[in-house]
Amino acid sequence: MTTTQHLLSSVEMARFVANGYHRMDGVVPAELNERAIPEFDAGQQPHVDYGTPVKQAFPEGSISRALLEIPTVAGALQSLVGPDPTVDHHHTHIREPNEGSAQPLHGDAIIDTRIDAFDVQLMYYPQEVRADMGGTLSVPGSHLRRTNESDTGRYQNLRGQTRLTCPPGTVVLLHHGIWHGGRRNDSDIRRYMYKIRFNPTVPQVRTWDVSDLDDPKVSAELSTYHPWSEHATSRLEIYNRIRMWRALTNNPAFDIDYWATRVANRPGRV
C-alpha cells in the first residue's frame, strides 16, 4: 500500500494525538458502498492471520483492498501508521434492528501502553447512520488515559462523548486505546460497521507531511481540553500528548509550557 498524496498535515496529526481519531465523511464512492452490504451479508470477507501484509490479506478487487486504495484513506493511514502496515484482524460488526442492548464503553487491548507507537483501527460505515440507528460512541481524548479494557463499562454517559452519525461511505481512523462502544440500534434498519486493525512495520516517525511542523497551531491542538476530564487532571493528558509528539517527531526537546522539560530535570545525573 503506497501513496504520495493526501498525507495528513502536522496540524492534523497533532489533532489526532489530542483527540484519538481522524474522521473522513463520505470518502468512499457510492458503487463501493453498494457492493459492501451484500458482501458483508454473504460473509465473503476472507480469514486473515495476525500480522499479514495488506496485499496478502486482501486480494485485488476485494472490498477491503478497494477501500484501502482510496487516496484519502491511504494517505491518512500512511500518515498515522507508516507505509506497508500489517493487518492485525478485521471484522464486520452488525447491529440488528430494535435489538434493545448496547455495547459497554471500553478500550481495545489496553494492556498496550505504548507511547512511542500505536495501532490504528479503521472503521468504515457503508450506509448513512442516523441518530436512531445508534452509531459508535467514542470519548475524544480518552486514548491516553489507560484503563483495563472494560473498566469504563459502568459509565453510561461522559461529557464530550460523541455518538457517530454520518453519511454513507464514512471512514474513521482511531488510536487503539480510545474509549468506545456500539450503541443500541432503535431503528428498523440493520446497521453495519467494518473494522480493520493495523500494526505498524516501521517507526512511526514523521510519516506525514511535515512542512508545517513549526506551525503554532500544532501546540494549540495538543493543548486541547476535553470536558470529560476536570481542568487539573487534563494536564496529565497534555503531558502524555507531549511525550507522544516527541516520539512521533523524534524531537526530545518539544514541550508545551515547560511541563515535560521540568519533569525530566535530573541535575547531576550522568
pLDDT digits 0-9 by tens, 107-123: 876 677 788 889 999 99
Give the cell for residue 93: 460488526
Establish if 100 belongs to a structural domain: yes
Total number of domains constituting the chain: 1
Which pLDDT score, from 0 to 100, does residue 110 have?
Answer: 61
Establish if 155 belongs to a structural domain: yes
Establish if 29 belongs to a structural domain: yes
Q: Which amino acid, 156? A: Q
Rounded Cα gap, residues 51 and 137, in angstroms: 28
**Which residue, chain included where needed, has cell 465523511?**
25
CA torsion angle 72 48 89 10 (round to 10): -30
**Tens digit of pLDDT per residue, the chain (270 long)?**
444 579 999 999 999 999 999 999 999 999 999 999 999 999 878 899 999 999 899 999 999 999 999 999 999 999 999 999 999 999 999 999 998 788 888 887 667 778 888 999 999 999 999 999 988 999 999 999 877 767 777 777 889 899 999 999 999 999 999 998 888 899 999 999 999 999 999 999 999 999 999 999 999 999 999 999 888 888 899 999 999 999 999 999 999 999 899 988 889 866
Q: Are 26 and 169 in contact (CB under 8 A)?
A: yes
Establish if 82 belongs to a structural domain: yes
User: Smallest Cα–Cα separation from 196: which of 120, 95, 106?
Assistant: 120
Q: Which helix (H) or strand (E) holds 261?
A: helix 259-264
Strand partners, 180: 106, 138
Rounded Cα gap, residues 166 and 164, in angstroms: 6
**Which residue, chain included where needed, has cell 494492556?**
111
Establish if 180 belongs to a structural domain: yes
Query: Where residue 67 sits, what CATH number does that domain have?
Result: 2.60.120.620
User: Smallest Cα–Cα separation from 199: which of 109, 124, 264?
Assistant: 109
Q: Are 94 and 192 in contact (CB under 8 A)?
A: yes
Containing domain of residue 121, as a range? 10-199
Hey, CA dihedral for 198, 12, 70, 44, is it positive or negative?
Answer: positive
Establish if 5 belongs to a structural domain: no
Strand partners, 196: 90, 122
The alpha helices in 4-112, defined as continuous H runs, are 10-19, 30-41, 54-57, 63-68, 71-81
Establish if 225 belongs to a structural domain: no
Give the cell for residue 263: 519533569
Establish if 63 belongs to a structural domain: yes
pTM of the model: 0.93
